[in-house]
Structure 1
Amino acid sequence: MTKPTRLDYCQYLLTTRVNYTLTHYADHCERFSHDQINRYLAGDRLPPRLVWESVQPHLVQTPDGYIIFDDTILDKRHAQDIAFAQKQYSGNAHTTINGIGVVTCVYVNPELDRYWIIDFRIYDKQGDGKSKLDHVQDMLDVLVNSRHVAFSTVLMDSWYASKVLMLFIESLGKKFYCPLKRNRLVDDSNGTKPYQHIDSLEWSQTEQKSGKRVKINKFPKNHKVKVFRVVSNKRTDYVATNDLNQSDVSAVRQVCSARWKIEQFHRETKQLTGIEKCQCRLPRIVRNHITCAVLVWIYLMQKANEMGQTLYRVKNEPYSDFLRQQLKSPTLKMDIA
């Protein structure tokens, strides 16, 4: 009897458009029953390491590469008793929702303007005792000390701008750029004045262009970072970096703009791979589904680069052919109007 494989399940996620359930798969597959597919997903182990093994041959590294960390919430507001789902803040929903937290790591080659997912972790503090910051530190350690990935700079948002993580990045000999929350306490007076919220600092015209050195509260004595006031049409960010030679706010804005790549990855996986559409409850099935969804994104990105098209075009092209055929010779022919 033929049994489902990882490739079979990934092919299903790649092919289906709206319904990503195992029931839908079994209803449209002559080879496998629902129980067979369920047993496969519950019995196999597909760790995040498979993502690295899949993407490594296609990864174009550069010593000036960026590593970007962020997390995304897989929306489970309408589900019950699904493994890893818990109440947590979703930036997409702008509120606390029931969902699965996935911490992602994206590699950006700024010279080619291309990006690749290279690692991820599922947030399960009750199960493994690790915070999202712990997961980021673990992934960084693997990238530098085990996989020897070439990069110079780590980008992350204000949720990850902790003292421990920033100092850890420095200990690896890497630079970081991350916005600080507006109420973060800093000192720009060399200890002559009390710490104040970063959004209360005064900025000279020179400092607005070239940044200023500050000490962040609770950082080691005499440890300074450089902060830039980056103003856009809708917001003002206070971006901290340990690159004390940086002196151009425009360059800082350009570097930070690369963080959009990881948001793009999150959007594409949700819209094209069904990463948050799995309705199974068992932890192993949830883990395997997420890994397979990320593998599908890797395939779509590879094909998009080969064909010079978007991931959306690659995913939807077979259905465009179907639509053309149906318009030419419809299965259901409209006869009233």
Structure 2
Amino acid sequence: MRQLVLPLLSDSPGAFLVVDDSVQDKRYRKSIAVAKRQHSGNVHGMATGIGPVNSVYSSGGGGDFVLLDFRPYAPDQDTKTTNDHFLDMFQQVAAEGKLLARTILFDSWYAGSTDLKKVHRAGRMFFTTLKSNRFVNLSKETGCQKLDSLEPPAPGWSKGVEVRLQEVPFGVKLFKLVATNGDIK
């Protein structure tokens, strides 16, 4: 699929690669082998469906999202997790070296130390969310603490603060975003 769409992209180092999963509702399925019960953010719980992991390209302009790759989440058939699919797709893009996009966007599901280290080693920048129970280290003196127990830095969260994540050998810049509905990321 990538070979078909690569010539159509207005690629640049400022472009983005977005990796996300979804669940396509198949509650009335009769015999779809890859449909299974899995967590769906859309229904905020378990749902029966097909769960593709998608790799999408965007130049960052007005809503231009182009599907580059997808992998169905079907652990009964291929024994792969959604994280395995994330890494497979990312490593394939990195190995090909055809995309100029340097920034990868993904949610907390893919923000494990293994994934972060592989993205970092490939020389890419990432933006992700972290789960509130993740351990971070502001300095050697303070030691590790849960993310949700952090006090705001002196200049506030808008400038961010550099932290170390457990099992991640490089610093990351941490920001706190509060949505209009009160959700904190």
Aligned length: 184
- Please say which structure displays the higher CA radius of gyration: 1
The alignment status of 1:206 with 2:155, answered yes or no, reads yes
CA contact (8 A) 2:153 2:161 kept: no
Partner amino acid for 1:201? L
1:121 aligns with 2:68: no
SS of alignment partner, residue 122 of structure 1: strand
Gaps of 5+ in 2: none
Structure 1: gaps spanning 5 or more residues: 1-50, 238-337
Report matched runs for 1:88-237 at 5 Å: 88-111=38-61, 113-146=63-96, 148-188=98-138, 190-220=139-169, 223-234=170-181, 235-237=183-185
SS at match of 1:206: coil
1:205 is displaced (CA, Å) by: 4.5
Structure with greater proportional strand content: 2
What TM-score, normalized to structure 1? 0.52
Give the TM-score normalised by the residue count of structure 2. 0.92
What are the Cα deviations for residues 175-226 of structure 1, in whole angstroms up to 9, with x where unaligned?
Answer: 00101011111121x2223422212100134141211111112323xx3211
Q: Kindly tell me: are residues 85 and 121 of structure 1, through their superposed partners in 2, closer, same or farther at Cα, counting changes over 3 Å?
A: same
Q: 1-side partners of 2:180 and 2:58: how far apart?
A: 25
CA RMSD in angstroms, aligned pairs only: 1.6
2:26 corresponds to: 76
AA aligned opposite 2:59: N
CA distance in 2, matches of 1:174, 1:187: 23
Q: How far apart, in 2, do the equivalents of 1:201 and 1:147 lie?
A: 38
Distance 1:113 1:79 in 2: 32
Percent identical = 32
Which residue of structure 2 lines up, in the alignment, with residue 275 of structure 1? none
Cα distance in 2 for residues equivalent to 1:207 and 1:114: 33
Pairwise mapping of residues 221-300 of structure 1 onto structure 2 (< 5 A)? 223-234=170-181, 235-237=183-185
Q: What SS does the corresponding residue of 1:170 show, helix, strand or coil?
A: helix
Structure 2 CA distance for aligned equivalents of residues 165 and 128 of structure 1:
20
The answer to whether the Cα contact below 8 Å between 2:116 and 2:168 also exists between their aligned partners in 1 is no
The 5 A counterparts of 1:37-56 are: 51-56=1-6
Q: Deviations over 1:5-35 (max 9, x none)?
A: xxxxxxxxxxxxxxxxxxxxxxxxxxxxxxx
| Greater RCO (Cα-Cα under 8 Å, separation 6 or more) | 1
Q: Which residue of 2 aligns with 1:267?
A: none
Whichever structure has more helix as a proportion of its residues is: 1
Name the SS of the counterpart of 2:123 in structure 1.
coil
